[in-house]
Structure 1
Amino acid sequence: MILVCLSILIVFVLLYYHLVYSPLTLWRRAGVAQKSVLHNFINSWFLFVKGQSVVDLIKGFYDEFPGVRYSGTYQFNSPILVIRDPVLIKKIVIKDFEHFVDRRTYIPEDADPMFGKSLFSLRGDKWRNMRSTLSPAFTSSKMKSMFVLMKECSKNFVKFFSEKNQEITEVQFKDISTRFCADVIATVAYGISVNSLENPENEFYIRGKSSTNFGTFSKMIKFIGNLAAPKLYKLLDVKLADKDEREFFTNLIEETIRAREEGITRPDVIQLLVDTRKGLKIHEDDTTEDTGFATVQEDKRAKGIAIENLTNEDITAQAFIFFFAGFESVSTLVCIMAHELATNPDIQDKLRSEIIKVGGSDLTYDVLVGMKYMDMVVSETLRKWPAQAGFERICTKPYEIAPVHPNEKMVKLEKGAVVIFPTVGIHRDPEYFPDPDRFDPERFNDANKHNIVPCSYTPFGGGPRGCIASRMAILETKILFYYLLSSFELVPVEKTCIPLTMAKNALLISVEGGCWLGLKKISST
């Protein structure tokens, strides 16, 4: 009996050592600061039952070891290096980009092409070539051509609430902002017109909302499963998007492609992809003024060869991920900016004064992007609440981080190592942004914005792999608030949560309860 118990104990100790202790002490052995084995085990395996928002999670990574340039953590048994120092971030994501070209593959291409073939998931030359194919759709000049389409959606949005016979209309702002973003994406990416406020149950909005909702248990399990056991999920043919969602978007995009090939043209993303497949050269005009300070600048190292043999599946993947990214992140930006303006009425009044000052018979692209205070407000919203709480890269070539401080050792990263950049932590660090919890657009005035430490402000990621659609996100937000603040004052109501509470167990930054605000009509007299 003693021998049996001893054997069981030995087996248990060996399993613990190889499956828990050894993988979860890698950083400690490499001389990198990390939390205890127990902390990392709990943090990895019980992440989604701990009741923690993604903002708290990423900021927690950043705050664990103040003063160090990097620290170690784990996702399940996989080591992750957290890069805290903006100088080192700049070196990794820009100067040494060739060592960190890729992101992790959350959904393999052959397991779920709708996600796996998208620009977000592609790697190496496949990513470069697709980025080069899509980039012309997101230049400033293309934004200028899409401006009219976005403006129409904004006018429809404001008109809907203006026609209500109420002095103050209480709205769940997350809900109405997702409807606005769905309408914008429908027209600028898919070439269709919907009005999701007038027609709240339209299929485009309903399917889109369902496909981007990662708060459901089934979607969460699918996402975690693809991270923890990708081969098993591939074998079981488990796809992230539900069957009806995949069929809806696939059929919609294929119908749109057929219409474009028959001669219908629109200044949108699908048109660009269809024209590229036909071998048409897309002219890029770099003379148009950019949409804002927070815009990700295109980098020549992201350049590849534009793909002319695009399949319908390729086009579907790009159009779907465009919806997936724009629907949730931009609607959250709109929702949070509305809340910040409602709870900071002096800032709202100053922005409205600028709108009145530049307002004419009709808004133009050049007038909008020339509004300095509007850009300051959007930039500060993205500082407190970045589009990405953090971003990551995969080491594609062996890389060494040389010691700088006396207590540092050489850190060697092998191919496949994961590094993350805790954006929200750096954005909330008083060393870079004093009094970080205060909403202060003056951080981004002409005198201050050029003093911002490079790579301490990365709301859309950084380097050649930064968000390709940052211009569009900024532009549609500015257009909406131009028209919204011309007709309404944003005010707190009884159900307004002050301060904002972030949703727990959500994969992206999301507001708990959806953010209730009041739209108070501005008297025309």
Structure 2
Amino acid sequence: MLPVPLPPSIIMIVILVLLILSAAIGFWKFTFTYWKKRKCNFLEPTIPFGNAQNFFLGKRGFGELFGDWYLEMKAKGWDMGGAYFTRRPVFIPINNQLIKRILVTDFAYFQNHGLYINEKIDPLSGHLFNLENRKWKNLRSKMPAAFSSSKLKNYTVIMANFTEVLVNRLRNMSQSKLPIEIKEVLSKFNVDAISACLFGIDTKSLDNENVELMKHGRAFFDIQFCRVVNTLVLLIPRPILTFFKFRVFPTHVTKYFMNFFSDIKAQRAGENIKRNDLTDILINLCDKTKSVSDIGGDGVMEPLTSTEFVAQMHLFFEAGFETTGSTQTFALYELATNPDIQNRLRVEINTVLNKFNGIVGYDAITEMKYLDQVINETLRKYPVFPILPRLCENDYRIPNSNVTIEKGTLVMVTNLGIHYDPEYYPDPMRFDPERFTSENKAKRPFCSFMPFGEGQRSCVGKLLGILQSKVGLISILRNFKVTLSEKTKMPFSFDKSGVILNTNGKLWISLETIE
């Protein structure tokens, strides 16, 4: 029996589909010649993911992906290399001197992060981390005043006031002998601490009196939402995202924080409150222009709008809430699995505090050198932001090479990869605070440890973040012995969804009160 011939319409559809597929494959292959044409070493891509298969298949997280690229290129002996996030070319610097040029020496070529920002459609996106060019420079120049040494001393006193509530809460929880999801508790402590230090308000999160604030604060870090945002921002040009009114922050989150921080501003104006903190600095920038020398050509900074004020307040809230909690949680995980390190740190804490009558103050914390080493080693293994994105602003010819980074190219400095580079950190998976003694730090080159970035774009609030992490850890370790609960899933792995480095699942610990 002869086969029934297909109708001409079906044949035409099949041919059309094949032509479209052929054209798409051809276009993809043409795109994948970008680095070859520019005579730059590159990782061999595959259709359609480029070199990002492991990310899209859920095998590696966002930061892990770029860290893997760095380590693979380093193993090949390259000073730099190209890769593809689907069809978008990405430049990865490997050589330490080249990284220094990008972040510091030739910063003018790479001053912007190149992330999505749309202050009209998505007001909270207009924060310092996303701002660009003159607007970023002018605002950035005003921020250090909120994080001076004198301010940090005052912040230490404020944060220490919340440690008694934290310890009492943990003591009550430990008496039940049940595992404790420690990041949940630390997040509440950090919300209370950062809100009191920078905004002058008592949120009472540790007393479970501000559930809405915690809920909306976590919304941006929703796992699946983060994956969608990260992918779209890298894949789709900003004009297209703007055209479709793309929002990084959900509408209900924007509305909540617009009201929350506007109320703080109104309260200060109504009650004539002056604390000379971050909130006051930003309020002053709303009220009048400020002359800024040698910045931006016209030397004058436009007043902040109400939405710009809220965007900055929200940025520092999220940074002090989520990222600090992650660092503290990772530190406790490592201390629980390395009891000798935990015991040594506890001895130092008690010894130093005995000199200061048991008071957790700025000067006492400064004397805790081993605590500083533990925090730094935690930040090495677990940099909260594992990548440092930069957008090339103008064609940049790399010195002593034939490679030019073209304008508009995405450059990814991967501090996660650098922090796991065995050239700088032998046996990088091992948790070893001795890496950060003065002698060992001096052996490593500049830009080999960058948990907060480097150069002019480094995190302006990093000293407060470190201080906050230390205050929380001191209060726990002087009162409790920390062990890992069997409820924590091992082996330990990272969440595969977000840009922020986070745990894949919750970390559960057990606490034994020290009498």
Common fold: TM-score over 0.5: yes
Runs (5+) with no aligned partner, structure 2 = 1-7
Residue 83 (str. 1) matches residue 93 (str. 2): yes
Cα shift at 1:40: 6.7
* Distance in 2 separating the partners of 1:419 and 1:384: 22
Pick from 417, 440, 451 the counterpart of residue 425 of structure 1.
417
Pick from 342, 367, 387 the counterpart of residue 364 of structure 2.
367
Cα shift at 1:190: 2.8
User: What aligned pairs does 1:239-258 form with structure 2 within 5 A after superposition?
Assistant: 239-258=247-266
Runs (5+) with no aligned partner, structure 1 = 283-299, 404-408
* Distance in 2 separating the partners of 1:451 and 1:222: 39
Report the secondary structure of 1:513's partner residue. Answer: coil
| Matched-pair contact (CA < 8 Å) for 1:129–1:304 | no
* Distance in 2 separating the partners of 1:496 and 1:7: 53
Report the secondary structure of 1:464's partner residue. Answer: helix
Residue 270 (str. 1) matches residue 279 (str. 2): yes
| Matched-pair contact (CA < 8 Å) for 1:167–1:521 | no
User: What aligned pairs does 1:116-135 form with structure 2 within 5 A after superposition?
Assistant: 117-135=126-144
User: AA paired with 2:428?
Assistant: P
Cα shift at 1:132: 1.0
Distance 1:269 1:63, change over 3 A: same
| Matched-pair contact (CA < 8 Å) for 2:112–2:133 | yes
Pick from 375, 385, 390 the counterpart of residue 393 of structure 1.
390
Pick from 489, 500, 506 the counterpart of residue 508 of structure 1.
500
> 1:519 is matched with which residue?
511
Distance 1:10 1:281, change over 3 A: closer
* Distance in 2 separating the partners of 1:41 and 1:145: 50
Cα shift at 1:424: 1.1
Cα shift at 1:281: 8.7
Pick from 235, 242, 254 the counterpart of residue 228 of structure 1.
235
Pick from 336, 339, 344 the counterpart of residue 333 of structure 2.
339
> 1:177 is matched with which residue?
186
Residue 410 (str. 1) matches residue 402 (str. 2): yes
* Distance in 2 separating the partners of 1:476 and 1:5: 62
Distance 1:25 1:109, change over 3 A: farther
Residue 317 (str. 1) matches residue 311 (str. 2): yes
Report the secondary structure of 1:382's partner residue. Answer: helix
Distance 1:59 1:232, change over 3 A: closer
Report the secondary structure of 1:74's partner residue. Answer: strand
* Distance in 1 separating the partners of 2:413 and 2:256: 35
* Distance in 1 separating the partners of 2:280 and 2:256: 19
| Matched-pair contact (CA < 8 Å) for 1:145–1:267 | no
* Distance in 1 separating the partners of 2:48 and 2:448: 27
> 2:446 is matched with which residue?
454
RMSD of aligned Cα (Å)? 2.8
* Distance in 2 separating the partners of 1:520 and 1:319: 37
User: AA paired with 2:98?
Assistant: L
* Distance in 2 separating the partners of 1:129 and 1:21: 43
| Matched-pair contact (CA < 8 Å) for 2:63–2:501 | yes
* Distance in 2 separating the partners of 1:302 and 1:423: 30
> 1:353 is matched with which residue?
347
Distance 1:301 1:48, change over 3 A: farther
Report the secondary structure of 1:455's partner residue. Answer: coil
User: AA paired with 1:319?
Assistant: M
Report the secondary structure of 2:438's partner residue. Answer: coil
* Distance in 2 separating the partners of 1:216 and 1:304: 43
Distance 1:363 1:15, change over 3 A: closer
| Matched-pair contact (CA < 8 Å) for 1:386–1:423 | yes
> 2:147 is matched with which residue?
138
| Matched-pair contact (CA < 8 Å) for 2:45–2:51 | no
User: AA paired with 2:500?
Assistant: L
Report the secondary structure of 2:142's partner residue. Answer: helix
* Distance in 1 separating the partners of 2:335 and 2:382: 14
Report the secondary structure of 1:213's partner residue. Answer: coil
Distance 1:80 1:303, change over 3 A: farther
Q: Which has the larger radius of gyration?
A: 2
| Matched-pair contact (CA < 8 Å) for 1:302–1:465 | no
User: What aligned pairs does 1:50-69 form with structure 2 within 5 A after superposition?
Assistant: 50-65=58-73, 66=75, 67-69=77-79
Percent of aligned pairs sharing the same letter: 31
| Matched-pair contact (CA < 8 Å) for 1:62–1:82 | yes
Distance 1:3 1:278, change over 3 A: closer
Higher mean C-alpha displacement, 190-199 vs 87-96: 190-199
* Distance in 2 separating the partners of 1:56 and 1:39: 21
Residue 215 (str. 1) matches residue 223 (str. 2): yes
Residue 382 (str. 1) matches residue 341 (str. 2): no
Cα shift at 1:223: 4.7
| Matched-pair contact (CA < 8 Å) for 1:138–1:469 | yes
Distance 1:267 1:492, change over 3 A: farther
> 1:445 is matched with which residue?
437
| Matched-pair contact (CA < 8 Å) for 2:419–2:449 | yes
User: AA paired with 1:376?
Assistant: Q
Per-residue displacement from partner, 1:216-274 (whole Å, max 9, x unpaired)?
34x54355334434434433333222222111110111111112223113353212211
Distance 1:145 1:31, change over 3 A: same
Per-residue displacement from partner, 1:307-337 (whole Å, max 9, x unpaired)?
4611111110101111233322211101000
Distance 1:421 1:304, change over 3 A: farther
Cα shift at 1:179: 1.8
* Distance in 2 separating the partners of 1:281 and 1:81: 38
Higher mean C-alpha displacement, 160-169 vs 53-62: 160-169
